[in-house]
Amino acid sequence: MNTDAILITGVRVVDPGTGRDEIGELYIADGMIAEVPRSLPRDVRVIEDGGLTAVPGLLDMHVHLREPGREDAETIQSGTAAAARGGFTRVMAMANTQPAVDTPARVEWILRRAAEMGAVEVLTAAAITRGRRGEELTDFAGLVKAGAAAFSDDGCTVADEEIMRAAMARAAGLGRAILDHAEDENLKGGGVMHAGAKARAAGLPGVGEEVETRIVARDIRLARETGCRLHIQHVSCGASIAMISAAQQEGLAVSAEVTPHHLALCDEDVDPQDASYKVNPPLRSAEDRATLREAVAGGVVAAFASDHAPHTAASKARGFLKAPAGICGLETAVGVTYTVMVRGGLMDLKSWIERWTLGPARILGLPAPTLEPGARADVTLLDLEHSWRVDSAEFVSRGRNTPFEGWDLFGRCVMTIAAGDIRYSGLRGVSER
């Protein structure tokens, strides 16, 4: 634990919650952001760099840490180290571990393990149904008492409408969001990539957009009936965006996240020989991608989320039909979203930061991340000026499955500070006095 005071000076400080955007200083003492004292203590650590940008600690509301059960793919320790390296001070773990996080004791176990081993703070979702089998609801009240931050059967949709209605009614009563993996498994059949020309040419079974839109339509209807906060995970289709936007216009508490890979890639980019492009929901058409980008820039989509889904190299080597779906995203999420959305001229820096901070915090009912004195010192220090090349051999995640290998990106985390403690530092050539 590094309890020394830290002065970060000469950086651009951007705090969207307060509107602060200036070249200035940040002072951290006793784990909190504080006013810069008139005279600095002797053991203060000074980080000085004109080219860096300090923002509130980023929050990734959708990650798979794989522990318990698939420690060969990731652990709480390796996944949170990847989060810290990627710029995140908090992550929300999904419940599709083995066994699933479907009892209060398992929620407590995750949170205890994360407190012991985690490089950053871990929030956890609890499963909606026992074993994520879609048949029987979990003990929602007990799970919330144990510390579950939201409910999700992510990886699967709750197929039965009655069960989903009951889940939403319970979540509404407890003031927790349902995080909704919207894919109709029956309609999907054996589909592995977007149903388009590329899938046909490759002879791969397709996934039509109705696989997603049917569930989005159903669950918006259920949110209207139950008053539940409904958050659509990893939205992939333009038609889903239209429904989500209409629900928001109507005043429903409906929100959405988009992943870096759905913003950067489309089905035309998929190499059918390379299962690192295989993901659920699949990479959609170029038109869908354009609509997702607009929705993120315009605010219909309030959050980015990586859907960090590490898999072993052996499982991904089984080919597009048989390999598991998922992209290892924590260490490329900042670069991909910054490069596509901000360098690409689609959104400003402040809005980009919001999608990684205020947006997800609001959806989850968490206090707004800020750099105001008195706030917990969760700070991400970014280099937005220099490009860097993605090399999965450098990942600290156990996963290497990325379609972004070799990409040149702008936007890289150079330091992650959580509760005043430096959890990751990749600072090079920055003066530290």
| For ligand DOR, the closer CB: 307 or 383 | 307
The minimum distance between CB 262 and ligand DOR, in angstroms, equals: 11
Nearest to 135 by CA among 158, 169, 110: 158
| For ligand DOR, the closer CB: 56 or 155 | 155
Interacting residue with ligand DOR among 78, 80, 276, 280 (CB under 6 A): 280
- For residue 111, what are its two tokens? 């949170």
Interacting residue with ligand DOR among 56, 104, 206, 326 (CB under 6 A): 326
The H or E element spanning position 257 is strand 254-258
Scan residues 203-222 and list those touching ligand DOR (CB under 6 A).
Answer: none
Residue partners of 27: CB distance under 8 A and separation at least 6: 5, 6, 7, 8, 33, 34, 35, 36, 37
Scan residues 373-392 and list those touching ligand DOR (CB under 6 A).
Answer: none
Nearest to 163 by CA among 198, 119, 132, 200: 132
Give the other-Cβ count within 10 Å of 125's Cβ.
Answer: 28
Reported residue count of the chain is 433
The minimum distance between CB 276 and ligand DOR, in angstroms, equals: 11
Torsion angles phi and psi, residue 336, rounded to 5:
-65, -45
- Active-site residue, selected from the candidate residues 15, 49, 184, 307: 307
Q: Which residue has the tokens 């698939």?
A: 70
Scan residues 174-193 and list those touching ligand DOR (CB under 6 A).
Answer: 181
- Using CB under 6 A as the criterion, what x/- string covers residues 75-114 for binding ligand DOR? ---------------------x------------------
Nearest 10 degrees: Cα torsion 311, 357, 246, 223: 70
Nearest to 297 by CA among 337, 255, 244, 249: 337
| For ligand DOR, the closer CB: 154 or 267 | 154
Active site residue 153: no
- For residue 163, what are its two tokens? 């069960």
Q: Give the CB-nearest residue to ligand DOR.
A: 326
- The radius of gyration of the chain's CA atoms, rounded to the nearest angstrom, is 21
Say how many residues touch ligand DOR, by CB under 6 A: 12
Taking CB under 6 A as the rule, does residue 279 contact ligand DOR?
yes
Which range, of 33-41, 129-137, 320-328, 409-417, touches ligand DOR by CB under 6 A? 320-328
Burial of 173 (0-12, 13-18, 19+ CB in 10 A): middle
Taking CB under 6 A as the rule, does residue 237 contact ligand DOR?
no
Interacting residue with ligand DOR among 9, 11, 47, 64 (CB under 6 A): 64
Interacting residue with ligand DOR among 14, 309, 414, 422 (CB under 6 A): 309
How crowded is the C-beta side of 6, counted as CA atoms within 13 Å? 24
- Using CB under 6 A as the criterion, what x/- string covers residues 129-158 for binding ligand DOR? -------------------------xx---
The H or E element spanning position 358 is helix 358-364
Taking CB under 6 A as the rule, does residue 423 contact ligand DOR?
no
Residues lying near ligand DOR in the complex (CB under 6 A): 64, 96, 154-155, 181, 279-280, 307, 309, 324-326
Residues labelled as active-site residues: 307
